[in-house]
């Protein structure tokens, strides 16, 4: 697809000049990450990787992704409240996946004790690619929905200005004016602020639960600053701080260092390596508390790949969202083919199909964070190894989405400037707040476009594969 800056794509001198402008603009705007060498220090920083040019996104698909986000918020919330659905859906997975099993055990323990939490906060990001079918017409297809620690809502709020500057330097003022404003950090903070307000203790704090290694701190600071601007106090703690200094009173109010915590916002806790025995104990303490968790453990389980696959079965959406006929149609229109590998005839058939034609599929484990999926020959080898083992139920199989590549330049510190064939992934942030049974907020809160070279099958920005981008709607 032709873009208005096609002529520049092959002018090396112009590209070098505009790349210098772009990097300076990123630094000025605060599109920043800490370095790999000093991941916990802000005295040495660099720009977060990004595309030199905004990427073309079909406006009809962009609008479709926004239109369905509130439906996905409702769906995730409905799943999180449906004990039987989670129990049945994850029954085979928790036998072979220790991480999901441990999350599930905490979920059941908290339900047995009785939920202390009455305010529920969801921050999701639903990710899509544009699948070019047999006739070449692009269609919006969901890759996954992230229900915990969905990142880059902060930095992506700042990339529009960078790409606007690039286009203006090229004399493309009209095109620059067409870039949509985008501020997910404000939308995410609105949800956190609403949950904090409904918790009902003005002196309580919002706790960001953060990783030991914090390269992506500026992304989080964008959200944090929005809360400080609303006079809401924010503290940053790790699991070990919770383990050492966290406690519950008789009313199950959560205290850290003597401060009452109204909202726990997880930017950690989504992969097995985030946990040792004491971190699991800290997680249980948090889950048992009255504080609004984002997400609570049931909502984290709602984001597993096995749940995603189960949602594609006929009748499942109708069972979870009775009476929401139009919402169900909008949700279902975004589904790619998803297949169970459960032990039995259907699973056997899908394993055989994937081994015979591995390039048709993606093999997905129950993991967040990017870089976990298997493709092609690697997919075939893994399935051949586990085809007759219950271990295969730790995965789901999904049709491989085939987007149309475009040419762009991926700007990374200390990397040469070179053209790449690229594909993009569009994420829509959703925020909802429920008090008891009443939904008090449900909105789409902004978008994130990430782009990567086609030779990288899997992985996001934090995984070092994709880079930040801005949609240019056509």
Give catalytic residue positions. 125, 144, 146, 151, 305, 364, 368-369, 450
For residue 189, how far is the Cα from the chain centroid?
A: 16
Longest dimension (CA), the chain: 69
Helix axis angle, 59-67 relative to 69-80, nearest 10°?
30
3-state SS assignment for residue 135: coil
DSSP, res 409: E
Q: Residue 386: how many CA atoms within 13 Å on its side-chain side?
A: 19
DSSP, res 114: -
Q: Which residues partner with 42 through β-bridges?
A: none
SS (HEC) of 274-330: HCCHHHHHHHHHHHHCCCEEECCHHHHHHCCHHHHHHHCCCCHHHHHCCCCHHHHHH
Structure tokens at 222: 């964008």
CA 232/CA 156 separation, integer angstroms = 23
For residue 172, how far is the Cα from the chain centroid?
A: 32
Q: Which of 133, 114, 130, 91 is nearest to 310 (CA)?
A: 91
């Amino acid at each position: 697809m032709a873009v208005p800056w096609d002529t520049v794509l092959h002018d090396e001198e112009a590209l070098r000049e505009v790349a210098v402008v772009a990097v300076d603009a990123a630094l000025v705007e605060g599109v920043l990450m800490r370095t790999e060498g000093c991941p916990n220090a802000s005295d040495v920083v660099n720009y977060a990787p990004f595309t030199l040019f905004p990427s073309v996104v079909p406006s009809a698909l962009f609008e479709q992704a926004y239109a369905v986000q509130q439906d996905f918020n409702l769906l995730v919330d409905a799943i999180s409240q449906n004990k039987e659905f989670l129990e049945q859906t994850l029954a085979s997975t928790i036998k072979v996946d220790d991480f999901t099993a441990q999350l599930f055990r905490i979920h059941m323990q908290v339900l047995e004790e009785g939920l202390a939490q009455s305010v529920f906060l969801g921050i999701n990001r639903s990710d899509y690619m544009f699948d070019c079918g047999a006739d070449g017409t692009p269609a919006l297809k969901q890759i996954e929905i992230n229900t915990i620690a969905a990142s880059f809502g902060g930095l992506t709020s700042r990339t529009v200005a960078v790409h606007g500057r690039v286009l203006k330097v090229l004399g493309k003022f009209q095109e620059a004016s067409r870039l949509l404003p985008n501020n997910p950090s404000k939308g995410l903070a609105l949800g956190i602020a609403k949950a904090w307000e409904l918790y009902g203790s003005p002196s309580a704090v919002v706790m960001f639960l953060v990783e030991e290694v914090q390269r992506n701190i500026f992304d989080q600071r964008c959200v944090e600053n929005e809360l400080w601007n609303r006079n809401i106090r924010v503290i940053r703690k790790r699991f070990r701080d919770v383990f050492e200094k966290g406690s519950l009173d008789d009313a199950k109010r959560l205290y850290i260092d003597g401060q009452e915590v109204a909202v726990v916002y997880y930017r950690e806790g989504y992969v097995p390596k985030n946990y040792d025995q004491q971190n699991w104990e800290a997680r249980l303490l948090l889950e048992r508390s009255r504080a609004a968790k984002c997400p609570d453990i049931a909502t984290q389980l709602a984001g597993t790949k096995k749940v995603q696959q189960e949602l594609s079965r006929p009748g499942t959406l109708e069972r979870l969202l009775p009476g929401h006929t139009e919402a169900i149609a909008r949700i279902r229109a975004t589904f790619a083919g998803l297949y169970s590998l459960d032990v039995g005839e259907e699973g056997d058939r899908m394993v055989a199909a994937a081994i015979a034609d591995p390039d048709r599929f993606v093999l997905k484990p129950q993991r967040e964070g990017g870089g976990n999926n298997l493709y092609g020959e690697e997919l075939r080898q893994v399935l051949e190894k586990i085809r007759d083992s219950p271990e295969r139920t730790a995965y789901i199989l999904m049709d491989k989405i085939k987007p149309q590549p475009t040419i762009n330049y991926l700007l990374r510190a200390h990397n040469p400037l070179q053209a790449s064939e690229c594909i993009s992934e569009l994420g829509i942030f959703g925020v909802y707040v429920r008090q008891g049974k009443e939904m008090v907020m449900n909105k789409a809160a902004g978008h994130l476009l990430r782009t990567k070279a086609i030779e990288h099958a899997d992985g996001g920005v934090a995984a070092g594969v994709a880079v930040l981008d801005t949609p240019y709607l056509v």
